[in-house]
Structure 1
Amino acid sequence: MNETLTETRTTELDDPSDSVPRIGRTMTRMRMMTGRRLIGRLAIQSVAPDLELSHLDVLDAVRRAQENGEVTVGAIAEMLRIDPSRASRVVSDMVGRNVLRREASQADARRIVVVMTSLGKNLLAEIRAQKLAFVSEVVRDWPQEEIDTFSRLFEKFIGGYEAIFLSRDKDTPG
């Protein structure tokens, strides 16, 4: 069966008029692979085996949200599109596991914010290391010029994808 799939993909690659449909099919294959969350599972296994993938989602949301200032449970819930009570439960669990901690806001001491602990930062670093190792292995035999070209085009593609998604997403605050 793998030979048949390989032959089909090779044939598809030979037809330049098939480029846009080929991108769509390739995106589906990538979604299926990333849906298995291999990189996240490897990072958890290496650094904090008792965590779950939902913890990584929250940790990544904290990382992204802190670029814009202090992070609240409400901001996490909004970013992950989950109920605030669910976000609060996950954050509480992560505080109990010493991945996150709560502290008073520097801007308004009445407000509680969420920050990463050293363990949380180590976990993010491990996720990044796993991701880079994985990508490096994929492109190991590629000429540097192809890697450079692919990186620019992939970034351009994802930027366009995000822009279209955000312009059409009814749930995104505008």
Structure 2
Amino acid sequence: MMSDVLTKTPSAEPAEPDRENVPRIGRSMARMRLMTGRRLIGRLAIQSAAPGLELSHLDVLDAVRRAQPAGEVTVGMIAEMLRIDPSRASRVVADMVGRNVLRREASQADARRIVVVMTEVGQDLLAEIVAQKLAIISEIVSDWPQEDVERFAALFERFIGGYEAVFLSRDKDTPG
């Protein structure tokens, strides 16, 4: 029966707003927003993996990870991604360079420009923090049946994809 639910193709017409479940989702989102705002998973991961770091360090490390595949990463790019002042980004990067998590080097495209690169220590740290986050999520769903975990993962991905699409379609600051 559960497999029937997972394999059925969604109808072409969107469901009418549900007077009971849509408000439940809204209340759950509010609770999750509070926990996300407090950065509970990130804080727990840092406590376990790197007690000396702050959330801003984790944010910068993640920004570098996300930006590196697109090319060279600069402090200005990090500041823009995190929507923080460039001087703040520079201070956090400098601290992380001092901890051997990041390093600065000359750009291969323009030697006058300095880029930020994750060191092996940074890669190991990021991998450990990700492992800690996944361990926390695993603990949360540890008593769920496997099919519930699979279904939740698929539905949550779908929900977040829809959330992003609605936001992007309505955000006046997004070019496009």
Residues 123 and 105 of structure 1, relative CA distance in 2, 3 Å threshold: same
Say if 1:95 and 1:101, in contact at 8 Å, map to a contact too: yes
Determine the structure 1 residue equivalent to 2:52.
50
CA distance in 2, matches of 1:167, 1:99: 37
Determine the structure 2 residue equivalent to 1:102.
104
TM-score by length of 1: 0.83
Say if 1:43 and 1:123, in contact at 8 Å, map to a contact too: no
Residues 38 and 123 of structure 1, relative CA distance in 2, 3 Å threshold: farther
CA distance in 2, matches of 1:173, 1:101: 32
Say if 2:49 and 2:132, in contact at 8 Å, map to a contact too: no
Determine the structure 1 residue equivalent to 2:62.
60
CA distance in 1, matches of 2:87, 2:173: 19
Residues 146 and 42 of structure 1, relative CA distance in 2, 3 Å threshold: same
CA distance in 2, matches of 1:46, 1:82: 26
Of Structure 1 and Structure 2, the greater helix share is in: 1
What does the per-residue CA deviation read over 1:124-169, in whole Å, with 9 as the maximum and x for residues that have no partner?
Answer: 1122111111111111121111111111110111112122223333
5+ residue gaps, structure 1: 1-15
CA distance in 1, matches of 2:163, 2:50: 33
Say if 2:45 and 2:129, in contact at 8 Å, map to a contact too: yes
Shift of 1:91: 1.0
Cα RMSD between the aligned structures? Answer: 1.7
The count of corresponding residues between Structure 1 and Structure 2 is 159
> Taking CA–CA contacts closer than 8 Å with sequence separation of 6 or more, which of the two structures ends up with the larger relative contact order?
2
TM-score by length of 2: 0.82
Determine the structure 2 residue equivalent to 1:93.
95
- Percent identical pairs in the alignment equals 81
